[in-house]
Structure 1
Amino acid sequence: MMQFMLLFSRQGKLRLQKWYVAYQDKVKKKITRELVTTILARKPKMCAFLEYKDLKIVYKRYASLYFCCAIEQTDNELLCLEIIHRFVELLDKYFGSVVGLLESG
C-alpha cells in the first residue's frame, strides 16, 4: 500500500504532498526534509529505489520535478514507477504540460 506521495522541485521546494497514512505534522516535515535531501543528493544514474526506515521509496524525475512515493516492503517497485508515470500522463492531459506548470508555481 502506498503510504504517501511527494512532488518537489530540483531546488527542494515541495509542490504537492498526499499522505495516505496518518502522521503528525512534525513527523511529516522530518520525513519530507530527509527524503528531499537524500533524493536530490543522488546521481542521475543511481537506482530509483531506496530503503527508508520500514518503507521503500520509489522516485522518478520528470524535467526538474521529482515524483516520490513511499510503499511497503512487500509492494512492487516497478508497479509504483508505472503509477507515477500514469499520474504524470494524467496531469499532463488535464493541465497541459504539468511539469512546466508546477515548476513555475
Structure 2
Amino acid sequence: MIKFFLIVNKQGQTRLSRYYERTEVQRRTLLESDIIRLCLSRSKDQCSFIEYKDFKLVYRQYASLFIVVGIDETENEMAVFELIHNFVEVLDKYFSRVSELDIMFNLDKVHIILDEMLLNGSAVETNKTRILAPLLVLDKVAES
C-alpha cells in the first residue's frame, strides 16, 4: 500500500503532498524534512529505492522535481517506480511539458489527476485517456 505521495523541488520545498493514512501535521513535517534531506543527498548513480524506518521510499527525479512515494513492505517497488513515470507522463500530456510552475498554479488539477490514479493508497487507473477524462470535462464546462 502507498502511504504517501510527495512532489519536492531541489530546494527542498514540498509542492504536493498526499497522505493515505492518518498522520499528525507535526509528524508530517518531520517526515518530509527527513525524506527530502535523504533523497536530495543521493547521487544519480544510486538506487531509487531506500529503506526508511518502517517503510520504503521510491523516488524519481524529473528536472528540478523529485517525486517520492512511501510504501509498505507488501508493495512492489518497480510497480510504484513505473506509476511515478506514468503520473509524470499524464501531467506532460495535460500541461504540454509540465513544469514546477504548472504544478504550483494548478495544484487542484494535479490532485484530480492523482486521485484518478490512486484510491486509498492503491493504484486504480493507469490509462492516460481515462485519467484525463474528468479534467477535460471540467475544462469544457469552464470554457462555456
* Residues 1:24 and 1:100: Cα distance change in structure 2 (over 3 Å): closer
Partner of 2:12: 12
Partner of 2:123: none
Partner of 1:38: 38
More moved, 91-100 vs 31-40:
91-100
The TM-score, its normalising length taken from structure 2, stands at: 0.69
SS in 2 for 1:11: coil
Distance 2:84 2:100 in 1: 17
* Residues 1:36 and 1:67: Cα distance change in structure 2 (over 3 Å): same
Mark the runs of 5 or more structure 2 residues left unpaired by the alignment.
Answer: 106-144
Distance 1:34 1:102 in 2: 26
Tell me the percent identity. Answer: 38
Report deviation, 1:104: 7.6
* Residues 1:3 and 1:64: Cα distance change in structure 2 (over 3 Å): same
Aligned residues: CA RMSD: 1.5
Mark the runs of 5 or more structure 1 residues left unpaired by the alignment.
Answer: none
Partner of 1:99: 99
Report deviation, 1:61: 0.2
Runs of 4+ that moved beyond 4 A: 102-105
Confirm or deny: 8 A CA contact 2:4 2:70 kept in the other structure.
yes
Confirm or deny: 8 A CA contact 1:56 1:72 kept in the other structure.
yes
Report deviation, 1:99: 2.7
Distance 2:103 2:9 in 1: 7
* Residues 1:26 and 1:61: Cα distance change in structure 2 (over 3 Å): same
More moved, 20-29 vs 91-100:
91-100
- Greater strand fraction, Structure 1 or Structure 2: 1
Report deviation, 1:10: 0.8
The structure whose RCO (Cα within 8 Å, separation 6+) is larger is 1
- Greater helix fraction, Structure 1 or Structure 2: 2
The TM-score, its normalising length taken from structure 1, stands at: 0.93
Report deviation, 1:101: 3.0
Partner of 1:81: 81
